A and B are shown apart, each in its own frame.
Chain A
Amino acid sequence: MADSGGSERKGIDRELRRGSLELIVLQLLAPGEAYGYEIVSKLTAETNGALEVTDGTLYPVLYRLERAALVAVRWETPERGVPRKYYRLTDAGREELIRLTHEWSTFAKAMNKLLRRDREAK
């Protein structure tokens, strides 16, 4: 029984992370276009490492956003070095960012209210 509870907790954690990663990446792209490495660096810098994700987690999210047409891409080849793939929000991506931000705020407010009630009861 303990095992199944543990794996369930892991599952919830994974789903939360998966859901919030999309919002995080869309938010990081809101000011303007960026390429993969730049997005990872911005995420680490802007959250002081608190929301750090592995590179192997970020790229599949970018892939998902591209396939869903929430971001548009362009390739740029510097004079020296390998081509970079730049991502920018599409109109659909901006709408999705607004929707996810609203969802996240509602969720966070509800959770805070619930946890506060629990603390007050103690």
Chain B
Amino acid sequence: MTTADDYITRVVGHMPGATPLRAQIATELRSHITERVANGQPLDDVLRHLGDPATLAESYLAEVPLIPASFWRRAAAKLVDILIVLAPILALVAVAWRAIGTVNGFAFPILVGSTAIGGPLLFGILTAIAECRTGQTIGKRLLGIRVVRESGARISAGQAIVRQLPMFLQIYWIDVLFSLATDKAQRAFEMLSKTRVVRVEPDAGR
């Protein structure tokens, strides 16, 4: 049997962390369930009246307008993320270069090649993890934008990975061009993964 807390956790868990009044929604649902149960209604019946947790979460989210993040805001967020990931990679490359560069003549092309392939791969993995867990990378958090499903709900791990495929396949810059021409400013792989990047509401997190 699902407990009230399980149910509320599932509703709220479906919402991105930055959903406006998210904490208040949880408290109000708890209050409602408690009241119904106190009036003699079985918990299962109460939860059935509230409906499927994911559907309820999406009903709330349908009331939050999704405002597409501007191209430049997204570009600034990406730049911040790149700098954050690139700095330690470059430091590592410099250390490796100093260590092996003098003893192996092929060290330079190997280092450049592995950075060119490994860098975007690492960047894509870190971005996918951050977006799947919170909907935001550090850059997105700083620029006040987040990744959501087209319904406004949190994205899944699969969606987070599909979003990063252009980075893994090194076709990111081509993919980015789509966001300049599509209605909701989506990249091609965002349309494929049914995700969007939107502005965070000013009253988020209350």
* B-binding residues in A (CB < 8 A): 35-37, 54-57, 59-60, 63-64, 66-67, 75, 81-85
Are B63 and A60 touching (Cβ within 8 A)? yes
- Complex CA gap A41/B32 in Å reads 12
Are A56 and B55 touching (Cβ within 8 A)? yes
* A-binding residues in B (CB < 8 A): 20-21, 24-25, 27-32, 34-36, 38, 46, 49-51, 55-56, 59-60, 62-64
- Complex CA gap A82/B33 in Å reads 10
Interface of A, secondary structure class, is helix
Are B60 and A60 touching (Cβ within 8 A)? yes
Are A67 and B32 touching (Cβ within 8 A)? no
Closest residue of B by beta carbon distance from A54: B49
Which residue of B24, B34, B50 contacts A82 across the interface (Cβ within 8 Å)? B34
Instruction: Give the Cβ gap from A58 to chain B, nearest Cβ, in Å.
Output: 9
Extra pairs beyond A37-B35, A55-B36 (20, CB < 8 Å): A36-B28, A37-B32, A55-B32, A55-B51, A56-B49, A56-B51, A56-B56, A56-B59, A57-B51, A59-B59, A60-B59, A63-B21, A63-B25, A67-B63, A75-B27, A82-B30, A85-B24, A85-B27, A85-B28, A85-B31
Instruction: Give the Cβ gap from B56 to chain A, nearest Cβ, in Å.
Output: 5
Q: Contacts A63-B21, A63-B25; is A83 near B31 (CB within 8 Å)? A: yes
Residues of B within 8 A of A75 (CB): 27
Which residue of A37, A60, A67 contacts B20 across the interface (Cβ within 8 Å)? A67
Instruction: Give the Cβ gap from B144 to chain A, nearest Cβ, in Å.
Output: 18
Instruction: Give the Cβ gap from B11 to chain A, nearest Cβ, in Å.
Output: 9
Instruction: Give the Cβ gap from B43 to chain A, nearest Cβ, in Å.
Output: 13
Residues of B within 8 A of A35 (CB): 31
Are B59 and A57 touching (Cβ within 8 A)? yes
Residues of B within 8 A of A37 (CB): 31-32, 35-36
- Complex CA gap A15/B166 in Å reads 38
Are A82 and B63 touching (Cβ within 8 A)? no
- Complex CA gap A83/B31 in Å reads 6
- For this complex, 17 residue pairs linking A to B, each with C-beta atoms less than 8 Å apart, are A37-B32, A54-B50, A56-B55, A57-B51, A59-B29, A59-B32, A59-B50, A59-B56, A59-B60, A60-B59, A60-B63, A63-B63, A64-B63, A67-B21, A81-B35, A82-B27, A82-B31
Residues of A within 8 A of B34 (CB): 81-82
Closest residue of B by beta carbon distance from A61: B63
Instruction: Give the Cβ gap from A103 to chain B, nearest Cβ, in Å.
Output: 20
- Complex CA gap A82/B46 in Å reads 16
